[in-house]
A and B are shown apart, each in its own frame.
Chain A
Amino acid sequence: QTVIRVGHGAQAGHPTHLGLLRLSEIVAERTDGEVQIEVFADRQLGEEREMVEGLQLGTVDMTVVSTGPLNAFVPEIAVLDLPFLFRDSQHAYGVLDGEVGQEILAKFEGAGILGLGYFENGWRHLTTKGAVDAREDLQGVKLRTMQNPVHMAAFEAMGASPVPMAWGEVFTSLGQGVIDAQENPITVIYTNSLWEVQSHVTLTGHVYGPHVILASQVVWDGLPEDARTAISEAMPEVIAFQRQESQRLEAEQIDLLRDKGMTVSDVDPAPFREAAQAVYSQFSDRFDPSMLERIQAQ
């Protein structure tokens, strides 16, 4: 019997966890229980950066992580972090499952990592204490972002003061007023009870966050043939399922956030997009311009 351990950083209710459980079911079924996939949520196998390193070392078999920490391993993936890159979900799916997405996955080979595909972490939206009806409302707002230079520059261009802060301190800091706002996918906003410290969700959808499915090349090469086939063949089905769950949960949790007393509102994204365009030229050395063109043309 073969045991494959998959770690991820999201909580057990996250669509990524559900997707991996589905993968485990399908693979067990198709190999008559010979291949067991064990899923570890909540950073149980380590932080995201650490798990990717673990793939290289062969101490982690598989992982699903967001693109942020992957910049250090495959710089080309930075293009996916650009704000307002994708028009909508269909555009994102098309690019990621198409030529560009697969090209980026292929780059992982050089790092001893096998790229298997893209789950969805979700569209990132803004939560704040006051209403954000226009870009001007972001002026001087202390906004927690990930430790990602492109995101920080984009929010600075939109007028906010970006604060890179450890996630463990965000909830408290929002509550006590150390920071005023943060940005994350709906699932993260909901599962972390941010309604207790934030009153508004503005559906900016400023960044689309993929969750990249990766395997350790060393471990993969050591797997029996039927295990590799079963996983590869199950992938498209599992990815479709995960994205569907992601969209279902996002819609469901937006309603739940309203029930909890949050004001959820749409906003015209055009002014935000315009301001954020500045980073496209500012960080042009970070990504392949032809790749960007192909994404935009798709």
Chain B
Amino acid sequence: MITALLLSFVLLLVLGMPVSFALAIASALALYAGGVPLSLIVQRMTASIDSFVLLAVPFFLLAGQLMARSGISRDIVGLSQSLLGHFRGGVGHANVAASVLMGGMTGSAVADTSSTGMAMIPPMIERGYPAPFTAAITAASSMISVVIPPSVPMIIFCVVTGVSVSELFMAGLVPGILMALGMMAATALVARRQGFPREPRQNARAILRALRSSLIALTLPVVIIGSIRFGVATPTEASVVAVIYAALVGRFWYGALPFRALRPLALEAAATTGVVMLMIAAASLYGLILTRAQVPQAAAAAIGTLTQDPTLVLLLVLVIYVVAGAILDLGANIIILVPVLFPTVTTLGIDPVQFGVVTVMGLALGLVTPPVGACLFIASTIAKVPLMVTARAAMPFLISTLALIVAIILVPEIATWLPYSMRR
């Protein structure tokens, strides 16, 4: 049964089948081979998405669409450029900064690559930056937006493990900012070696103008976090607050977002929701079959025989994440791997919140590694660069992020200090 499950999955992927359908079809075959009633398919796939916490996914995606369409995203990019453009490789730094700011509003790396990529890659190439670098920095910095709250993958992790969403959100803040600083350091290095251009320094008035036009946009993360902090809304409900606030700001402050824009924006957000949710549904069916066959228990025992040292276990898990991230999508990986690893990891006394941050960051690397790195793919398409060339240019940023993850494994407080100091 398990052989049928694994083999058919790989075969279907090679055939070019979408990952979610490959998971679902492989599961159906395994159920048939195991003599389990196939009505389980409809039941498990539906029940796995019948979860209030998951509602945050379409809402945060919709909020992202509203911001991109209304001009909020454009203002954020403009502000980043006026602040950082005059350093060597300044537009690269601005790209990272834009992802930090956008990261505070959207929870999807793919959305971030699309919006900052369209706004920044063409002008960067125009100003003489090598195209592979522009694609690489755009794709890599997008990883920041799933680490800085809000974050769709973090929500999925919490659904699977029962870890508190707001604590994991808080835990991502410091690592997200460190991630950005690491990438800026890597940009500075690459910029010096390759002799990237500088932009003229903007005068104070220009900076002020950029700041003023994006001021209202910058209140959005404040409203999201504030509505959670002050007991107005649960983390899931905060995503609705984000939608309504972005719609109001877009409509009345920017004067954008006519009523007829609603339909295409809702459909755009829905299409991405469909990708994520079918993946969750199929992966959860697949995971149930693995659980019934006690594969997680066996895997946990295998890790246990290798080592009992928490640090070594986490490093081992990181290796698994890097390999898995190269093969499967971020969300699917969380649903398949985390239920297997979580019990083992927590029995060893590893902090669940630390594990959540390591998981999301470790698997996020897969967004930028071939062959299935979604952000790598989008950025390469915008910059018109072959995938492998972008991947090579992204190496410095991948290394700086990997170093940060190892640091969090060794010093959990980088992630856990903020949420735990806010308890009670």
Residue numbers of A with Cβ under 8 A of B are: 5, 38, 40, 44-47, 49-50, 53-54, 57-59, 165-166, 168-169, 171-173, 175-178, 196-197
Inter-chain contact A196/B231, CB cutoff 8 Å: no
Of B37, B228, B233, B292, most buried by chain A (CB within 10 Å of CB) is B292
B411 touches A (CB below 8 Å): no
At the interface, yes or no: B359 with Cβ under 8 Å from chain A? Answer: no
Asked whether, in the complex, the Cβ of B231 is within 8 Å of the Cβ of A178, the reply is yes
Q: Are A169 and B231 also in contact (CB < 8 A) when A46-B44, A50-B47 are?
A: no
List the one stretch of B14-22, B68-76, B156-164, B369-377 in contact with chain A.
B156-164
CB distance from A128 to the nearest CB of B (A): 14
| Interface members, chain B 260-301 (any A CB < 8 Å) | 288, 291-292, 294
Which of B36-53 touch A at CB < 8 Å? 36-37, 39-40, 43-44, 47, 51-53
Report the separation of the CA atoms of residues A237 and B151 in the bound assembly, to the nearest whole angstrom.
48
Specify which of B40, B52, B231, B235 is in contact with A54 (CB 8 Å cutoff). B40
B113 in the interface (beta carbon within 8 A)? no
Min distance, Cβ B165 to any Cβ of chain A, angstroms: 6
The 8 Å CB contact of B37, one of A59, A172, A173, is: A59
Q: How far is the CA of A47 from the CA of B232 in the complex (A)?
A: 28
Q: Which residue in chain A gives the minimum CB-CB distance to B35?
A: A58
B231 touches A176 (CB 8 A): yes
A199 to chain B, nearest CB (A): 9
Knowing A46-B47, A172-B164, A176-B228, say if A166 contacts B292 (CB, 8 Å): no
Verify if B209 is at the interface (C-beta below 8 Å from A). no
Given A45-B291, A177-B230, A196-B424, A169 and B235 contact (CB-CB distance below 8 Å) = yes
Contact (Cβ within 8 A) B339 A44: yes
Question: Whole-angstrom distance from the CB of A2 to the nearest CB of chain B?
Answer: 14
Distance A54 CA – B46 CA, assembled complex (angstroms): 13
12 pairs of residues in contact across A and B, judged by CB atoms under 8 Å: A44-B339, A45-B288, A50-B47, A57-B40, A166-B51, A166-B52, A169-B52, A169-B53, A176-B228, A176-B230, A176-B231, A197-B423
Rounded to whole angstroms, the CA-CA distance of A209 and B292 in the bound complex is 28
The reply to whether B39 and A172 form a contact with Cβ atoms under 8 Å apart is: no
- Residue pair A168, B162 in contact (C-beta under 8 Å): yes
Given the contacts A5-B292, A45-B288, A197-B424, A178 and B36 also touching, CB distance less than 8 Å: no
- Known contacts A168-B53, A172-B165, A172-B235; is A59 also within 8 Å of B159 by CB? no
Closest to B347 in A: A12
Q: How far is the CB of B119 from chain A (nearest CB, A)?
A: 34
- Extra pairs beyond A57-B40, A166-B52, A172-B235 (12, CB < 8 Å): A44-B339, A45-B291, A46-B288, A57-B39, A58-B37, A59-B37, A59-B43, A168-B159, A169-B52, A172-B166, A176-B229, A176-B230
- If A5-B292, A165-B234, A168-B162 touch, whether A196 touches B423 (CB-CB below 8 Å) is yes
A57 touches B43 (CB 8 A): yes
Q: Do A59 and B36 have beta carbons less than 8 Å apart?
A: yes
The answer for the CA separation of A171 and B167 in the assembled complex, in Å, is 10
- 0/1 per residue, B146-184, Cβ < 8 Å to A? 000000000000110010111100000000000000000
Residues on B with C-beta less than 8 A from A53 are 43
Please judge, given known A-B contacts A44-B339, A59-B36, A166-B52, whether A172 and B292 are in contact too, CB under 8 Å: no
Residues of B with C-beta under 8 A to A46: 44, 47, 288
- Inter-chain contacts of A5 with B (CB < 8 A): 292
| Chain B: CB-nearest residue to A142 | B231
Q: Could you tell me if A168 and B158 are in contact, using CB atoms closer than 8 angstroms? A: yes
> B232: which A residues are within 8 A, CB to CB?
178
Are B234 and A178 interface neighbours, CB within 8 A?
Answer: yes
**B166 near A176: Cβ-Cβ < 8 Å:** yes
A58 CA to B37 CA in the complex, in Å? 7
Given A57-B37, A59-B37, A196-B424, is A177 in contact with B231 using a C-beta cutoff of 8 Å? yes
> From B46, which residue of chain A is reached at the shortest CB distance?
A50
Inter-subunit contact B53/A172 (CB<8 Å): no
Cβ of B288: which chain A residues have Cβ within 8 Å of it?
45-46
**A50 and B43 within 8 A (CB):** yes
- Check if B231 sits within 8 Å of A59, measured CB to CB: no
Set of chain A residues within 8 Å of B214, measured between Cβ atoms: none
Q: In the complex, what distance in Å separates the CA atom of A45 from the CA atom of B164?
A: 22
Chain B residues whose C-beta falls within 8 Å of the C-beta of A169 in the assembled complex: 52-53, 165, 234-236
**Distance of A47 Cα from B44 Cα, bound (Å):** 10
Minimum CB distance partner of B423 in chain A:
A196
Contacts of A40 in B (CB 8 A): 291
Contacts of B52 in A (CB 8 A): 166, 168-169
Tell me, in angstroms, the Cα distance from A288 to B321 when the chains sit together: 56
Q: In whole Å, how far is A144's beta carbon from the nearest beta carbon of chain B?
A: 11
Residues of A with C-beta under 8 A to B291? 40, 44-45
A40-B291, A57-B37, A176-B230 are contacts. A47–B47 as well, Cβ < 8 Å?
yes
| A166 CB → nearest B CB, Å | 4
Nearest 6 CB-CB pairings of A with B: A177-B231, A166-B52, A172-B166, A169-B234, A59-B40, A50-B47
Which residues of B sit under 8 angstroms from A49, Cβ to Cβ?
47
Alpha-carbon separation in the docked complex, A172 to B52 (Å): 14
A residues in contact with B53, CB < 8 Å: 166, 168-169
Nearest CB of A to B198, in Å: 45
* Chain B residues near A178 (CB-CB < 8 A): 231-234
Give min CB distance, A273 to chain B, whole Å. Answer: 31
B57 to chain A, nearest CB (A): 14
- By beta carbon, the residue of chain A nearest B168 is A172
> Quick one: closest B residue to A38, CB to CB?
B294
Q: In the complex, what's the smallest C-beta–C-beta distance from A111 to chain B, in angstroms?
A: 16
In whole Å, how far is B297's beta carbon from the nearest beta carbon of chain A?
9
B165:A59 contact, CB within 8 angstroms: no
A47 to B51, CA, bound (A): 10
**What is the distance, in angstroms, from A62's C-beta to the closest C-beta of chain B?**
13
Specify which chain B residues have a CB less than 8 angstroms from the CB of A57 in the assembled complex: 37, 39-40, 43
Contacts of B159 in A (CB 8 A): 168
A58 to B38, CA, bound (A): 10
Closest B residue, CB atoms, query A177: B231
Query: Please, which residues of chain A bring their CB within 8 A of the CB of B36?
Result: 59
Interchain CA distance A47-B40 in the complex, whole Å: 13
Contacts of B47 in A (CB 8 A): 46-47, 49-50
Alpha-carbon distance between A53 and B40 when the two chains are bound, in angstroms: 10
Using Cβ atoms and an 8 Å threshold, which residues of chain A touch B230? Answer: 176-177
